[in-house]
Structure 1
Amino acid sequence: MPYLVECLASVEAQTIDPARLEVIAVDDGSTDGSGECLEEFAARAPMAVTVIRQENSGGPSGPRNVGLGKAKGRYVFFLDADDRLGPEALERMVAMGDENGTDVVLGKVEGVNRVAPKSMWGKTLGRTDVFSSNIKFTLSAQKLFRRALLDEHGMRFDESLFTGEDALFTMEAYLRAGGVSVLADYPCYYLVGRDDGKHVTKTGSYTLRFDSARALMKLIADMVPAGPKRDTLMVRPYLITLLPQFGPKFLTDDEEVRRHKFELAKPLMEAYWTPGVARGLKVHERLRLHLVAMQRPELLPDVVKFVKSKKQAAAILEKRGTRVYLVYPHFRSKAAGVPDDIYRAEPREARVFHGYREAAANTFLRRALRKVRRTLRARGFGTAAA
């Protein structure tokens, strides 16, 4: 409360036939009148409503699992009590899943007093997957899931995780799904920022973030063989979950916390950090995680301070403009010993610099052709007649 009132109003306003919809509301030990609000909604709502009231479980996984165990519909959708749906959300998402035979449907998310993910909403996609789209950057539970997929694989939320349980669940669904749909042309879900700022993802000890990263990395490693595809997915937990632990907050951490963070990160870097993952990051992101991998906490603050200042790193162009190095702290410092490749910008980051020339994919063939031409000229071919 009071967000629950608008949440329920958005359910009641759904354009899908109420006879096709069942609502399972789990009151997880609330003390603010939410339970009574749910009972009142159940009494007046035009669709079937089941209210389950239980002792507080300490996190979102337990009540979601209880609700999932009671669900009878072909699809399930997880709606958080402080968010709300667009009026046509369920009708459009169900139609999308039915039309394309997909197992997961993502409806466009918009933030209200809160930042929402954006990179995956560029285009509506009837059928895609986690490797060929940006859906790996939205792993919240607010998706439409085909219940048969979840039942077939016995999928449930991990109740041992306080945060990141939805990322684990959704990534597994993406990987097991027989196709994923993206509905990008209609705002299906409004992610509401609470006035008190008490979102689960913003609270709790830093150790919980490492637990979340560890679980997601293990899931990816267990389900995807080593190689480019695994690297593509591993970018997500490194970038979204692990890297923030070595951002501005690191500057205010005491020495014991800094040391502990490096200790927690060490096995994750040893197990899953690869050149392929590193190439999927921007230079300053790669540099920070490289220092974590190399266990060099003394070098990290200078980099974090530079990034926090939002200064543009100077660019050095070499190899006739085909290589761009960004001069972040410790670049070509003998004492630091960080390899040049860590500072080398990938094409997507290098293109903004004047003078950069993207090396052609057929560079080898061009070199061979130039060699042939030089040989022919040396033998007198291809020269103008006297």
Structure 2
Amino acid sequence: MADMPRTNHEPDVSVIIGAYEAMPYLIRCLESVEAQTIGAGRLEIVAVDDGSTDGTGEYLEEFAARTAIPTRVVRQANSGGPSGPRNLGLKLARGRYVFFLDADDYFGEEALERMVAMGDRAGTDVVLGKIVGVNRGAAKSMWKETVERADLYTSNIKFTLSAQKLFRRDLLVRLGMAFDEKLKTGEDALFTMEAYLRGNGVSVVADYTCYYLVGREDRNQMTKKGGYQRRFDSARALMGLIADLAPAGPRRDSLMVRPFVITLLPQFGPGLVKQSDAVRRKKMALAAPLMDAHWTPELGRRLKVHERLRLTALAAGRLDLLLDIASFLRDKKEPEVIRRGDRILLAYPHYDEAAKGSVLPEHAYEVAVTEWVGGRRIEPPQRKPHVSFARRVVRKARRTVLSALRAPRAHRV
């Protein structure tokens, strides 16, 4: 959808900052907004202090009084999470685009100029700018190249669902989108995936570092807080959204990899071994309806063997098998690589029984994506395309007809 011409009262970007106990990180955050090469006249800042007690609110007000960027500061009682401040900021925003900037983090100087140019050129509703971690890790697989329109189903953009993106505000307003304030973790993944699925395309700016994701020394970050219940709530919400917006089939399966592997599976990793039996069984009970509703063997073919095995055991309700695999991973053991005809299998726990047709199915041990074992790269075999029986019959009939047509015809008498 084309934008209306920009007026003097409409900034290109509204930078929305939800801040809670953000000092001293907020100082560099705001400096990075002022340093944007897009220029102060094309920006506005909407900052919401979410009940801070460390001087965050006072610093925001001081900044607003002296900066050339139009800045609105709202101070409110603590809401308990990032969704409330972001939603309020979105309601107050006037820009063609909005960017949700965390108060701990900061921009590269050309970030907004490059991302706005990309969104305008490509006509897309979401623009991803390259993110790097500072004192913490950050996803890397989606920054291999700059693309005007990324394919959601075949690319890795589904593995970056944080809110730190440039969103076309018209999309958000038109769809009535907002962050789910009931979710205490994963609310940004839900919001971003909906924008990916319902918007007019996603662009990627990978040739410039747009965003610096900062690991706080005091570790006072929402992503590090909360118990396992919140992770299941997040997985349930994201799986439900994907099921609602993507028809069943390969494309849905490609998106479901994200909540299964990133949100659900870590709850059944090596740490499961040292947890109490009560916690383990509670986790199994929470996972059961998710597995029943959304797990498919076709989805499993998109995963590494140890991921597929754990989820297959989880779907079968077999805590005993899960614990055996989790112990194997905890002890950093390496599975034996077994080549059988045109298949490669990894002998994780219970492989011997599976090979005899019991316990977990043997195909669950089969390499279907790139694996690393003992420092060696293991690639899945390249299989010949499957030709159905019906197609073979048609081909044979076609050859028969062609042969008959080419045969010399008898002269009429």
TM-score normalized by the length of structure 2: 0.85
Unaligned runs of 5+ in 1: 373-386
Work out which of the residue numbers 341, 352, 368 in structure 2 matches 1:332. 352
Measured at CA, do residues 153 and 359 of structure 1 come closer, stay the same or move farther in structure 2, by a change above 3 Å?
same
2:167 and 2:240 mapped to 1: Cα distance?
22
2:379 and 2:88 mapped to 1: Cα distance?
59
Structure 1 contact 25–51 (Cα < 8 Å) conserved: yes
Partner of 1:263: 285
Partner of 2:343: 323
Partner of 1:151: 173
1:274 aligns with 2:296: yes
1:158 and 1:326 mapped to 2: Cα distance?
41
User: How high is the sequence identity, in percent, across the aligned residues?
Assistant: 61
Q: Report SS of the residue matched to 2:213.
A: strand
Measured at CA, do residues 43 and 305 of structure 1 come closer, stay the same or move farther in structure 2, by a change above 3 Å?
same
1:354 and 1:14 mapped to 2: Cα distance?
45
Q: Report SS of the residue matched to 1:299.
A: helix
Unaligned runs of 5+ in 2: 1-22, 397-413
Work out which of the residue numbers 228, 244, 247 in structure 2 matches 1:225. 247
Partner of 2:383: 359
Cα deviations by residue, 1:250-300 (Å, 9 ceiling, x for unpaired): 112101000000000000000000012111110000001111111111121
Measured at CA, do residues 248 and 198 of structure 1 come closer, stay the same or move farther in structure 2, by a change above 3 Å?
farther
Cα deviations by residue, 1:301-327 (Å, 9 ceiling, x for unpaired): 2211222333331111112xx101100
Measured at CA, do residues 254 and 336 of structure 1 come closer, stay the same or move farther in structure 2, by a change above 3 Å?
farther
Partner of 1:58: 80
1:126 aligns with 2:152: no
Query: How do residues 163-242 of structure 1 correspond to structure 2 at under 5 angstroms?
Result: 163-242=185-264
1:161 aligns with 2:183: yes
Q: Report SS of the residue matched to 1:333.
A: helix
Deviation at 1:361, TM superposition (A): 2.5
Partner of 1:251: 273
2:114 and 2:303 mapped to 1: Cα distance?
35
1:326 and 1:19 mapped to 2: Cα distance?
59
Deviation at 1:350, TM superposition (A): 8.8
Q: Report SS of the residue matched to 1:243.
A: helix
Q: Which moved more, 1:342-351 or 1:288-297?
A: 342-351
Partner of 2:404: none
Partner of 2:403: none
Cα deviations by residue, 1:206-264 (Å, 9 ceiling, x for unpaired): 00000000000000000011111100000000000000000122112101000000000
Q: Which letter does structure 2 place at the counterpart of 1:359?
A: R
1:342 aligns with 2:369: no
Structure 1 contact 106–182 (Cα < 8 Å) conserved: yes
Q: Which letter does structure 1 place at the counterpart of 2:96?
A: R
CA RMSD of superposed structures (Å): 2.0
Q: Which letter does structure 2 place at the counterpart of 1:164?
A: G
TM-score normalized by the length of structure 1: 0.91
Q: Which letter does structure 1 place at the counterpart of 2:322?
A: L
1:40 aligns with 2:55: no
Structure 2 contact 271–326 (Cα < 8 Å) conserved: no
Cα deviations by residue, 1:152-207 (Å, 9 ceiling, x for unpaired): 10000000000000000000000011111000010000000011223211210100
Q: Which letter does structure 1 place at the counterpart of 2:370?
A: R
